[in-house]
Amino acid sequence: MKVIDKLYEIGETFDYTEATQCAGGLKVGFFIKARKAHEALSEAEDKVSYSREKGTELQELISMANKAESQQLVGDIEGAHDSILKASEIYKKQTSTVVRLFVAPYIATRFFLYVEQLKHAIRSESSSEVVNLRKPTYEAGKAAVRNSTKYAPYRTKVLRLMGLYSWIIGKQGNALKWWGRTIEEGERLGARPDLSRTYFEVGKRLLEPQSKYEELNGIEAKGYLDKAEILFEEMGLERDIDDLDRLKADYGL
């Protein structure tokens, strides 16, 4: 937040649009990482308007992707779908030489939304929708992983989502391999929000009655939940702490 405030100050003092644009993008990203969904959505909507007024299409692409993820987090599924479609229209006009950091938010968010749609279809036992979603979700994941090899900020998140995708389609062994990579990269990069959520996801999935596995890298479910709890509390991630408390209550932990 200190960096964001300084960028806003530079933008206002020197009438420097790019600094203001960058500050806004970082602020939305901060709220998304903290899962402060309503704050993220409000900020993202402001940044979409600002991008259209003073920015470029690439800056609008980032803002629309952030808006889509924020809408998904607040439960506005239709809005998220609409926003990612609008972002897709911008993305399709770009050339292959576009710097990866400009397209990373869109590519990662598209994958995130596909995974959320697939999760909903599986819960709803809509077999036709599951069949229709599996391939595009996988293709979106491959694109996100490929982009993340050259741009690290989204790498831990994307690898975690690949693990989740594998798990929900029944490929638990592959999921654990992806999560093993996620943890390795998250710890190496110090990507604590996504690392903590990976710990939580692994612990949660290992507890499931249908889980074929009891541990990952020699650590059982409770060990991962304990790791997640430490990081959640250190970062003050209230929504994640609530999710963890509910999971513990469900399993009597």
pLDDT digits (tens, 9 = 90+) for 64-101: 999 999 999 999 999 999 999 999 999 998 877 677 88
Alpha carbons 148 and 154: distance in angstroms, whole number: 6
pLDDT digits (tens, 9 = 90+) for 205-229: 999 999 999 999 999 999 999 999 9
Q: For the domain that residue 91 is a member of, what is the CATH number?
A: 1.25.40.10
Residues 185-206 have a mean pLDDT of 97
Same domain, 9 and 48: yes
Tell me how many domains the chain contains.
2
Is residue 214 within 8 A of residue 206, CB to CB? The reply is yes
Q: Which of 67, 98, 129 is the last residue of a domain?
A: 98
pTM assigned to the model: 0.93
Q: Radius of gyration (Cα) for the chain, nearest Å?
A: 18
Name every residue whose Cβ is closer than 8 Å to that of residue 31 and which is 6 or more positions away in sequence. 37, 39, 40, 43, 70
Residue ranges making up the domain that contains 90? 1-98
First vs last C-alpha separation in the chain: 35
Same domain, 138 and 245: yes
Q: What is the pLDDT of residue 95?
A: 74
Q: Where are the beta strands (DSSP E) in the chain?
A: 215-216, 219-220
